[in-house]
A and B are shown apart, each in its own frame.
Chain A
Amino acid sequence: MTGLVDVAGRLYGIALRLLPRELRDRYGDDMRQTFEDRAAGRHGVGVGMLFIAEFVDLVRARHRPGSRGGQRRHPVGSLTHDIRYALRLLYRQPSFTIVAVVTLALGIGATTAVFTVVNGVLLRPLPYHEPDRLVQLFHGRNGRLSMTYSPPNYRDVTTGSGVFAGATAITPSSANLIGNGDPQQLNGANVTTSFFTVLGATPQRGRVFVDADGAEGAPAVVVVSDGLWRRQFGARADIVGSTLRLDGKPFTVIGVAPPDLTIPAGAEYWRPLIFSKDNLSDRQRGAQWVGAIARLKPGVTLEQTNAAMAIVARHLSDQYPNTNKDRVMTAMRLHDRIVRGIRPALLILLGAVTLVLLVACVNVANLLLARANSRAREVAVRAAVGAGRARLIQQFLVESVVLGVAGAAAGLAVAYWAIRGLVALGPSRIPRLAEVGVDWRVLLFVVTVAVATSVVFGLVPALATTGRSFARLISTAGRGLVGEAGTRLRRTLVVAEMALAVILLVAAGLLMRSYQRISHVDPGFSPDHVLTFAIGLPESKYKTSAAAGGFVQTFVDSLATRPGVEAAAGVFGLPLDDSFTASSSFTRPGEADSADSPSVGMRIVTPDYFKALRIPLRAGRLFDGHDDETAAEVVVINEEAARRYWPGMNPIGQQLHLGVRLAEARSGQKTIVGVVGDVKWNGLDATPPPEVYLPHKQHAVDSLTIVVRTAGEPAAFVPVARADLATLDRELPISAVRTMDEVVGRSIVERRFMMLLLGIFAAVAILLAAIGVYGVLAYIVSQRTQEIGVRLAIGASPADVVRLFLREGVALAAAGLLIGVVSALAAGRVLASLLFGVTTTDPLTFVGVTLALGIAALGASYLPARRAAAVDPMTALRTD
């Protein structure tokens, strides 16, 4: 974290301005050097704590010129005096200090943790050279944009538009690594040789690709990721020049990528992508299989880029209407592309946690107000001996800033653990989550939050305590200073707290209801007792699709004969697996392929797939062993496709022609033989799209998922599957081992994460609000002891007194509830995009929130109310 030390050092350099100029000129540079020496070797939070400590030390040093030389000290400066006074007060009231600091630490810590994530994911620039100039190129029609291009289209748009300084084509790949121990599957990418230079990523070892690596017939080379280098090579210094065997072929390692290079996500190696003449021929314009990232020329805007790309797209559309008609091409900033899915959720979290911080501030303000009451005499005396109001306010503010700094320091510790929790629990699909860390933005944020919260919670009591004529201050000094006005203020604060808690409770409640709804959605298949894992067949070994198809069938057949296995099958495109998308346009007999041609999702399956996942057959038949490469081409469609594209007729026996060219497809003309039930594909919250299923034997693919339905615990079957695969091919690894229940669970893990976090925030908020109610009622009881005594003396029963104060608590809660509900209804729109199956006005949620808040308020009022009822009338009447 040298960058962090550097930033902290720079901040310290600025803080040095606190010192007298003469001292700064003499020792400023050396002081900064010493500070950086101290900071070096500390982790993020440690640097923050050191900075705070050193900052305080500077403030003290500034006010202690007397410690220089052997002379006597000068009279203390008023600021130092106030700080020392504040520290002494806090030390003398440990229970107050602990409650206040813990409250602030929770608020500041949670806010800092969430901000750290927001900063790491949304704010921090991508770790590449001038990342603002990097764009991802999109391509598509009918408003359906995809990130893939065909090589000739990629070439034409990147060279023809004139706005790019460079571009690179990327296609994800995976390969089996055979070394010592079990073979394993690695994810990586094939990239054009410009990849690293376009990103501006320099290797930490060796070199990156040069043009010569992309020449046909060039030696096979590979750049490995930092992770692979450490895991597989033990971070060996002499890695460059060694050999990596991918799918049995030797590749020379020429370099190690920088640790923060994560394009594509999870890549562990990069090989040169070499376009053959055939790849680039015009016949291949329809074959879209490369992603494209480009670097804008300096000064070129996104609008100019999109305009230039549109001209190229129009040109290509005219020239190659068969493949390019009406296709649009656009660019999006790479950073926006990476975070676009997660941005709204993170911003909502940040908003929610800010509410928690506000509640914490209100609570501390309340505590300070209560304490101010007991300091009436002190304030009166200070005013009497000539302290002006400004001076008094300064002292109160210094006290709250000291509290705020203490809270921030403790909050940093809370944040440290909370960040680790967030990163550990956070769904792995949140991009850049692993890169999250404390940097100067976070430190600046903490300092700002600490100061801002101190002012927020300190100013109200400061103004309230000092805002009256001195004469009254002194005359009322003996009794409660804040009195009726103070009680009103504290009531208002509690109501505000309750209202904030209600907003959070409503948000958490709505998310909980959504989660509950979505977990009960029928996915269209039965996910229990199903094991899934991925296999990849290297092209070098399984050269023909017949070989690949035969191997997969043999493997699943052998699995199916195992005891306890009900069915085993292979599928290309597991439902709810977010990394998979494949779709194609299609035409019915007599239709021409056009921009408006309908589109269907595509899956390739072995015959027992429907049995393994228990997807019901609705009409016709399923695939069987006879649907192989020599038989007629057949498809099975889902109900949605039947409803939408063959309405009012029997789809069985109908013909369709897929637009996408699949390997070794013959005519592409296919007959529908069966209709199966709809299956959730893109997520439990999305309606199932129309789909076609193709038999694997007719369209063998080399990487697919195996699904096994077992009678017992599916995970227990893994060793058997591994052994069966090894008897067929010892060098094939299995990867991505999951049960189907896990696949389903993972598809809603973001929802669970959001629900969990908002639930925690809401719980903290309502706890703080309850403490607030308790505090204000306890205070009112102590104020009204005499009155209670009189009531009891003239015949009120203790139950009457309890009721009196419970009513007080309930009134506070009701006011808070009313304001909170109105605000929650108004703010509900923000949350709408995250909800499923419930409206933002869901009555059950609002009833639940009302109950929860009511119970919390009653509970919090009951203790002080009972204490009131226990007042001894004689003692109460005798006091004062």
Chain B
Amino acid sequence: MDDALSYLPLSPQQFQILLALSDGDRHGYGIILEIAERTAGSVRLGTGTLYTALAGLVDSALIAEPRRRPAGDERRRYYRLTTLGRAVLEAETARLDALVKQARRKGVTALGRPAWSRPK
């Protein structure tokens, strides 16, 4: 298996896509919806951007297309996080976490959290 660290850092789009797939397979529109919902609409991927990124992630084997599609929805193509993809997602999360901790330690605090990160 490739070393997950060699894929870092991820672009924000790549991170969002991997995160969207972390709890289940989704089709293209499903990914857009999940990200928009989770971020309360503040991150909206364009279709072109999404698929350019998807192609890259598939090429790097971070995500894959499951052979069987859910019954009743054969028209759409679904995408799934691979084991490598999950490892990269975790590694990226750890990297970001470390960065944030360093910033905090130097006294940098968030002025206000983005609206979508507040608990409902």
A interface with B by C-beta (< 8 Å): 12, 18-19, 23, 26-27, 30-31, 33-35, 37-38, 53-54, 56-62, 64-65, 67-70
Contacts and interface: CB of A to CB of B under 8 A. Distances in A.
A330 to B, nearest CB: 51
A60 B48 contact: yes
Nearest to A18: B48
Contacts of A35: 47
Nearest to A26: B55
**Pairs A-B, 8 closest by C-beta atoms:** A57-B46, A68-B56, A61-B48, A34-B28, A37-B29, A58-B48, A69-B56, A57-B48
Given A38-B32, A54-B48, A70 B55 contact: no
Residue of A60, A65, A67 contacting most chain B CB atoms (<10 Å): A67
Given A38-B32, A54-B47, A61-B51, 10 more contacts: A19-B48, A23-B51, A34-B47, A54-B46, A54-B48, A57-B46, A60-B49, A64-B52, A70-B6, A70-B7
Contacts of A31: 28, 47-48, 51
Contacts of A65: 52
B32 A67 contact: no
A683 to B, nearest CB: 54
Contact of A33 (B6, B28, B52, B53): B28
A67 B53 contact: yes
Interface in B11-42: 11, 13-14, 27-29, 32
Q: Is the interface of A mostly helix, strand, loop or mixed?
A: helix
Contacts of A64: 49, 52
A27 B75 contact: no
Contacts of A34: 27-29, 32, 47, 50-51
8 contacts: A30-B76, A30-B77, A37-B29, A54-B48, A57-B48, A58-B47, A62-B48, A67-B13
B51 A67 contact: no
Contacts of B6: 70
B interface: dominant SS: helix
A27 B57 CA distance: 13
B10 interface: yes
A4 B54 CA distance: 28
Interface in B36-91: 46-57, 59-60, 75-77
B28 A61 contact: no
A69 B84 CA distance: 13
Contacts of B14: 67, 70
A236 B13 CA distance: 48
Contacts of A30: 27-28, 51, 76-77
B94 to A, nearest CB: 16
A60 B46 contact: yes
Q: Which of A18, A35, A53, A68 has the most CB of B within 10 A?
A: A68
B100 interface: no
B103 interface: no
Contacts of A38: 29, 32, 47
B46 A23 contact: no
A61 B27 contact: no
Contact of B75 (A26, A33, A57): A33
Contacts of B27: 30, 34
Contacts of A54: 46-48
Contacts of B55: 23, 26-27, 68
Contacts of B53: 67-68
B76 A70 contact: no
Contacts of B60: 69-70
B46 A53 contact: yes
Nearest to A28: B51
Contacts of B54: 27
B28 A58 contact: no
Nearest to A35: B47
Given A31-B28, A67-B13, A70-B7, A61 B46 contact: yes
B99 interface: no
B8 interface: yes
A31 B55 CA distance: 12
A68 B17 CA distance: 13
A133 to B, nearest CB: 36
B28 A67 contact: no
A54 B45 CA distance: 9
Contacts of B11: 67
A729 B75 CA distance: 62
Nearest to B12: A67
A465 to B, nearest CB: 33
A64 B11 CA distance: 12
A65 B11 CA distance: 13
A18 to B, nearest CB: 8
Contact of B51 (A27, A37, A59, A70): A27
